[in-house]
Amino acid sequence: MHFVYPQFLFALFAVTIPVIIHLFNFRRYKKIYFTNVKYIKDLQQESKKKSNLKHIILLIIRILIISCIVIAFAQPYFLNKNNKINHAKKKYVSIFIDNSFSMQAHDNNFNMLETAKKKAKEIASAYNSNDLFQLLTNDFEGKHQRFYSKTEFIDMIDDIKISISSKKISEIIKRQKDILTPIKSPNKELFLISDFQKNMCDFKSIVPDTNISSYLIPLYAENSNNLYIDSCWVNIPFYKSNQNVILNVRIKNSSSETYDKKTLKLFINNIQKAIANFDIKPNAETVVKLNYVINNPGINQGKLKIIDYPVTFDDEFFFSYFVHPKIPILVINNQNENKYLNSLLGNDSLFFYKNVNINNLDYSIFSNYNLIIINELKTITSGLAFKLNNFIKNGGSLMVVPADNINFENYNTFLNSVKADIFSSVDTNNTKISSIDLNSELFNNVFEKIPKNIKLPDIYTHYVINTLSKSNQITLLRLRNNDSFLNEYKYKKGKVYLFAAPFNKAAGNFQNYAIFVPTIYKIAFLSNTLSKLFYTLGKDEYTEINASNINDNLFKIKGINNNIEIIPEQKKILSKTYLFLHNQIKKAGNYFVVNNENKNIKGLSYNYDRKESDLKYYSKDLDSILDDANISNFYIIKSKDKNLTKVLTEINKGVNLWKLFLIFALILLLSEVIILRVWE
């Protein structure tokens, strides 16, 4: 048994007071003489014995009363076997409150975050007013990197809200240890109040500290079912007005419950465009297809929505895309324009088509185009090669149609720089295109069926493309002699399409066959690269803007209702401007990028990370998890229906006995009163 205030035990000397009183206050007996004293003497002896016994019992009771009162003031307790606290010194306590999205689930009809905040207050109430506290959440805010008084700590708890952030257990404990370890005190404790969702529990990565007492306080969700939208995508190479689009939506069921006839809604620019019903089995996923027509050019912003309760952060999914009114194409000619390209692309309203002579070329306009066509240039200068290289790096597509008599050295130097194959020689033997790669992106879904005896173009002369081991070429059209006629190469963010012959009658009749049309069309369409449909909050991703001069534009990001305005970090790299948000956006939704003229130039969509959507917990298995991780100095407090103040008081101060001694004192006092009244 231990005492909180052992100095009070000196008051036990007060027991001498009743002893002294009883020694000097025994009743003195007087002798009375009678003629016959036989029976009187017996009565006298019997009364004297009873009186002495009564006084001895009262003396013992009074000694015990004083002893019990003194011991009660000394506050005795039995020390818990895990207790290492020195009660005479100040205590330092770090408390983590899990405020991730999974804490939206309910515990006894209450939001689990509210339960966690209540538990944190109960923990603080178990300590003295001079003890210091650190509050920690998933946000790892700067203000939470210091200690506060008990009153300040309790006030800060009320300000905690659900956060988009989610940290691993090892990260949380490391942050707590970073502030506790430098303190030269034996009284250091840390607490983790959480649902211990499986995706956050990496106990094997924890480095235990035996100088810090660590406690885990698991919370238990009543219902761990959750239905959520995981992602979405389209299977088209570009967007255009009046185009039919199939949007694929992946929905996941993280529960043991089957959902039937659930509804998924699609909104484009706040107008409902499609609706679909779906069924999904337990712990499964399904892809729902939504069919709609693009009506508006420019920025389009979408929202997908289901209804699921109580975890709702993942019931909506946002995305954005841009519909170009025309695909911009630039053709660089040596002398004459190509009449076949002019006829096919120049007269089509889908394209903004421009011819320019090599002698009048302005390199600064490259960033305004999706596709650049090198049309029968005899040489590619170093300056042009450098600009084309940058154009491809930034996501542009280049189509190379060689001239009859090219400068092999210039061409091959450029082709090498973009990791493409080189021209090795000229082959003047007549041959044919013999095969088409129907599985490639270029020719996929172009032909419903190809006849066995299909007539393909004749090639009279062509350049032999020497395949290099370092290239990542895809042969789209192959000649009968096994040479390549059209190869595709991916370089950085862009593509290079390399033809083996020019489009003229002397080289062959490829331009006169039907296959010429889908080949050139698909190259043009695929140049209109799709931007990212959405971004994920919490991941420091960047977005890119086609802007030739960052000094002319100060880009901002605004909410649809102008409820938020952010000036992101901006960097110009080559011909593009990159915006870095550094986690400044905290709420999922659709946003606009605006220039210094307050004009919307791009749509951005941000969604919450779905790693919190899988509501599987370790709350009930923490004992075995800690054993597997060989962690021995962590203690689990399972206090679902208990008050933590009482539990921690027993842990820190042991089992308090002062109330018991006070009750004993009252019982003894009552016994004394009864003896005095009844025993005559």
* CA 331 to chain CA centroid, nearest Å: 46
8-state DSSP, 350: T
Residue 62: band (very low, low, confident or very high) from pLDDT cuts 50, 70, 90 = confident
Residue 97, strand partner residues:
193
Which secondary-structure segment (H or E) carries 443?
A: none
Q: Which residue has the higher pLDDT, 559 or 548?
A: 559
Average pLDDT over residues 609-625: 86
Least confident interval from 100-104, 195-199, 647-651: 647-651
Q: Which residue has the higher pLDDT, 274 or 55?
A: 274
Residue 412: band (very low, low, confident or very high) from pLDDT cuts 50, 70, 90 = very high
pLDDT tens for each residue of 584-593: 998 999 999 9
Average pLDDT over residues 436-461: 84
CA-CA distance, 230 to 269, in Å (whole number)?
Answer: 21
CA-CA distance, 122 to 93, in Å (whole number)?
Answer: 13
Q: Which residue has the higher pLDDT, 441 or 53?
A: 441
- 469 has pLDDT over 80: no
Residue 618: band (very low, low, confident or very high) from pLDDT cuts 50, 70, 90 = confident
C-alpha dihedral sign at 113, 119, 125, 131: negative
pLDDT tens for each residue of 317-328: 999 999 988 899
CA-CA distance, 241 to 324, in Å (whole number)?
Answer: 8
Residue 223: band (very low, low, confident or very high) from pLDDT cuts 50, 70, 90 = confident
User: By the 8 A CB rule, do 314 and 286 touch?
Assistant: no
User: By the 8 A CB rule, do 513 and 459 touch?
Assistant: no
Average pLDDT over residues 163-174: 92
Residue from 485, 400, 378 nearest 437 by CA: 485
Domains of the chain: 2-79+658-678 (no CATH), 92-222+618-639 (3.40.50.410), 227-324 (2.60.40.10), 327-526 (3.40.50.880), 535-607 (2.60.40)
For the chain, percent of residues with pLDDT exceeding 90: 53
Confidence (pLDDT) at 262: 95
Confidence (pLDDT) at 233: 95
User: By the 8 A CB rule, do 495 and 397 touch?
Assistant: yes
Structure tokens belonging to residue 327: 């695909």
| Three-state DSSP string of 86-119 | CCCCCCEEEEEECCCHHHHCEECCEEHHHHHHHH
Structure tokens belonging to residue 230: 């995981």
Average pLDDT over residues 77-92: 63
Q: What integer best gives the mean pLDDT of the chain?
A: 87
Q: Which residue has the higher pLDDT, 38 or 188?
A: 188
Rg (CA), the chain: 42
Confidence (pLDDT) at 561: 79
Question: Please, what's the b/e burial string for 371-385 (b: 16 or more CB within 10 A of its CB; e: otherwise)?
Answer: bbbbbbbebbeeebb
User: By the 8 A CB rule, do 557 and 348 touch?
Assistant: no
- 84 has pLDDT over 60: no
Confidence (pLDDT) at 629: 82
pLDDT tens for each residue of 365-403: 998 899 999 999 999 999 999 999 999 998 899 999 999
User: By the 8 A CB rule, do 234 and 246 touch?
Assistant: yes
Top mean pLDDT of 88-92, 106-110, 216-220 is at 216-220
User: By the 8 A CB rule, do 520 and 345 touch?
Assistant: yes
User: By the 8 A CB rule, do 94 and 300 touch?
Assistant: no
CA-CA distance, 219 to 193, in Å (whole number)?
Answer: 7
C-alpha dihedral sign at 268, 272, 277, 279: positive
User: By the 8 A CB rule, do 201 and 172 touch?
Assistant: no
Average pLDDT over residues 635-659: 75
User: By the 8 A CB rule, do 255 and 298 touch?
Assistant: no
Average pLDDT over residues 155-166: 92
Confidence (pLDDT) at 237: 74
User: By the 8 A CB rule, do 212 and 93 touch?
Assistant: no
Longest CA span, the chain: 169
Residue 550: band (very low, low, confident or very high) from pLDDT cuts 50, 70, 90 = very low
Confidence (pLDDT) at 75: 76
pTM of structure: 0.75
- Which 3 state secondary structure label does DSSP give 144? helix
- 88 has pLDDT over 60: no
- 93 has pLDDT over 70: yes
Residue 549: band (very low, low, confident or very high) from pLDDT cuts 50, 70, 90 = very low
Helix runs in 357-435, H state only: 382-393, 408-417
Residue 148: band (very low, low, confident or very high) from pLDDT cuts 50, 70, 90 = very high
Confidence (pLDDT) at 310: 83
Confidence (pLDDT) at 44: 53
CA-CA distance, 643 to 620, in Å (whole number)?
Answer: 19
Q: CB neighbours of 94 closer than 8 A, spacing ≥ 6? A: 133, 134, 136, 176, 179, 180, 189, 190, 191
